[in-house]
Structure 1
Amino acid sequence: MKPATDDAPRRRIPRTANRISLAAEEIFHAPYPEPDEMVFLARNLVQVTLPHSDPGDVPVWGRTNGNLTLTIKPDWTLDPQTNQPTCLGLPYGTIPRLLLFWITTETLRQKSRKITLGDSLSGFMRELDLTPTGGRWGSIPRLKKQMERLFRAKISFEERRTDGELKGTRWLDMPVAPQGELWWNHQQPDQSSLLGSWIELGEAFYDSILAAPVPVDLRALLALKNSPLALDLYAWSTYRTHRVNRSGRKAFIPWRGLAKQFGGDYANVKDFKRKAKQVLRKVQAVYPGLVLEDRDGGFNLCPGRTAVRKSAAETF
């Protein structure tokens, strides 16, 4: 794709629509991705996700899905100029979501907690049309900031359980990358790699990736990459379709519950429903196996074709 120009804001909608249309046509003729077109995301991060927009320097942020709650805490550092504590902030938007897809996929390939952020990440960025550019509003400053926020954040899952008269809580705290190095050459924004940068995933985070990765189609991610909600609903719909296929029964999805799960950035359920309906139409364009039926207060998610071949995902 051509690099962004000054008229990018005016062209964004048609470019996005064209990208979705092209991906939909390709997926219609070749429904299942090739092995190198499959990417993965840890199941816990499919069920509950990151902020869509910047929540600011808050001490903790969270979302709930049923009895499962995700919270994210930002890391802090000392400002080298003022020597005052500074909050790094929380990861938000599309970039950390795409990074999590890449991290999960690389972890499954390498079977190692230590991941080199080199040519593989640069190639993934190029494939997603995130060509590195400098300047205040270029992709390098945004990528660097979101990398630091994501890698140094602590993600926690809390599950509430009931067993007869007993009530309990189970939790899992997961530092994303307790160790790492990030190097940047700001004079060469088109550098082919990240200069020996690396991260070492936290043990619990690494184990969660290996335990239950959810496969998706990279071609669909490329089409939906500009919308955090679209990325969330696409990954979620592939996972839920697999589940209803196994049960053989439709699943009723209430708008109120889905808004609580994914719509924390919306004023109310009505606003979320309106936006989610628009996004789900885009998701269905690149994932034709997603079968939905309107119902009062929500919709049915029906059995349908999976996004990837089951055999291909199992042998990855």
Structure 2
Amino acid sequence: MSIEGEPDFGARRLVLVHGRDTARAMVEPEQKRLVDIAAEVMGDDVGRIGITYTGFCLTGLPHKRLPDEHPWEKKGHRVTLLIEPGRMKIGRGPAKLHGVPYGARARMILLYLQTQAVRTGSREVELGRSMRDWLGRMGLSWGGETGKALREQATRIAACSLKFFWEGENSDGWTKGGFVRSGLRFHLADSNEERQQGLWQESVLLDEVFYEALQKHPVPLREAALRELSDRSTSLDLYIWLAYRLHTLKARTPVRWAALREQFGSNYAKISAFKRDFIKALGPAVAAYPEARVELAEEGVVLFPSQPPVTRRLVPVGGELTAVGRRTGAR
């Protein structure tokens, strides 16, 4: 069924049949970016992997900045995420209240921390060369305005407290905790050169409750997909949600607009505005997940059982998690 503003979910098939250049010439201008995303993900031969915790597949950070004193509460399927701002002392000044982390930059920092913790099997995550290399692969510079934004989000992550509330008697949710126990701070230097060289030189110690939950419930993601969505926080959330949800389905599953708005757009007063922005964000998410089987319908989104984005064995290679073995490809 055709929906107004519907993205071309067939972009990935066009790339497979015709190649990237021809596929770009066959679609409308607004769909060319979807072709590029699909081509980059399907053309990735390295197979590096990112990791996230199950809870972040069902909930997420805010997309825009909140007033610094405001907490964030996000309800997903059988789970609620609560993040409260915290105070932290930086330099010689007094402790300052730092608001809740938000946006794509905060999500990318968290993805790095989670991936490295699973890769190394340790709560302590280095912030030196490995983080600079990872951010570089994600198209994020640690200098200039991007570096400033990354440092701000890292500070917010370090200062805040985190709680996941899972429904059910046998849940392993948290009653308290944070993202990190210590670290995730940055050297202060006088010159620009010193600042550039001094970034990311400390290690982070993840909160033990967060780390234990992550070890029990990791969700593998394609690094190539994360790179293509690194500046699109809503599309990134949708990709992570689909990566977790689709391969667990047993049959065709419709999800109504009201439920989607509750999880991904509770700040929208009008369902029509949410639908417009959701559909726009869904296109890149599906393009970055070639195995995903998703359809739009008048009543919402229809999900179909699909292969997960990572179906191969994960091993540490050259300091990164890499998928090896049989490659499944797009269908």
TM-score, scaled relative to structure 2: 0.77
Other-structure match for 2:56: 45
Whether contact under 8 Å (2:243, 2:309) holds in the other structure is yes
| Distance in 2, Cα, partners of 1:249 & 1:140 | 44
Q: CA deviation at 1:82?
A: 7.3
Q: 1:122-171 CA distances to partner (integer Å, 9 max, x unpaired)?
A: 0111111111223xxx12221111001012211101234489xxxx9964
Other-structure match for 2:38: 24
SS at match of 1:157: strand
| Distance in 2, Cα, partners of 1:27 & 1:187 | 36
**Alignment CA distance shift 1:23-1:292 (3 Å):** closer
**Does 2:224 align with 1:213?**
no
Q: CA deviation at 1:90?
A: 0.9
After the TM superposition, which of the residue ranges 192-201 and 216-225 deviates more from structure 2? 192-201
After the TM superposition, which of the residue ranges 19-28 and 91-100 deviates more from structure 2? 19-28
Amino acid at match of 1:88: H
Q: CA deviation at 1:81?
A: 7.9
1:174 counterpart (174, 177, 197)? 177
Other-structure match for 1:75: 86
2:259 counterpart (257, 260, 278)? 257
Q: CA deviation at 1:260?
A: 1.1
Other-structure match for 2:125: 115
**Alignment CA distance shift 1:123-1:295 (3 Å):** same
Other-structure match for 1:153: 160
Paired residues for 1:58-73 under 5 Å: 58-73=69-84
| Distance in 2, Cα, partners of 1:19 & 1:188 | 36
Amino acid at match of 2:175: L
**Alignment CA distance shift 1:310-1:269 (3 Å):** farther
Amino acid at match of 2:297: R
**Alignment CA distance shift 1:146-1:190 (3 Å):** same
Other-structure match for 1:6: none
**Alignment CA distance shift 1:118-1:20 (3 Å):** farther
Q: 1:259-293 CA distances to partner (integer Å, 9 max, x unpaired)?
A: 11121343333212111111112222221211123
Amino acid at match of 1:214: V
Whether contact under 8 Å (1:76, 1:87) holds in the other structure is yes
Gaps of 5+ in 1: 1-15
Amino acid at match of 1:256: A
Other-structure match for 2:16: none
| Distance in 2, Cα, partners of 1:115 & 1:58 | 29
Paired residues for 1:1-316 under 5 Å: 20-29=34-43, 34-35=46-47, 37-77=48-88, 83=94, 86-134=96-144, 138-161=145-168, 171-180=174-183, 182-184=185-187, 185=189, 187-188=192-193, 191=196, 194=199, 196-244=201-249, 248-312=250-314
| Distance in 1, Cα, partners of 2:280 & 2:140 | 24
| Distance in 1, Cα, partners of 2:210 & 2:74 | 18
Amino acid at match of 1:183: F
Amino acid at match of 2:39: E
| Distance in 2, Cα, partners of 1:148 & 1:187 | 20
Q: 1:180-209 CA distances to partner (integer Å, 9 max, x unpaired)?
A: 262334522784663631111111011111
**Alignment CA distance shift 1:260-1:302 (3 Å):** same
After the TM superposition, which of the residue ranges 285-294 and 146-155 deviates more from structure 2? 285-294
| Distance in 1, Cα, partners of 2:116 & 2:132 | 13
Amino acid at match of 2:134: F
| Distance in 2, Cα, partners of 1:169 & 1:311 | 26
**Alignment CA distance shift 1:66-1:28 (3 Å):** closer
SS at match of 1:183: coil
Q: 1:76-110 CA distances to partner (integer Å, 9 max, x unpaired)?
A: 14687874x63111100001101111111100111
Whether contact under 8 Å (2:58, 2:77) holds in the other structure is no
**Alignment CA distance shift 1:130-1:20 (3 Å):** farther
| Distance in 2, Cα, partners of 1:181 & 1:290 | 35
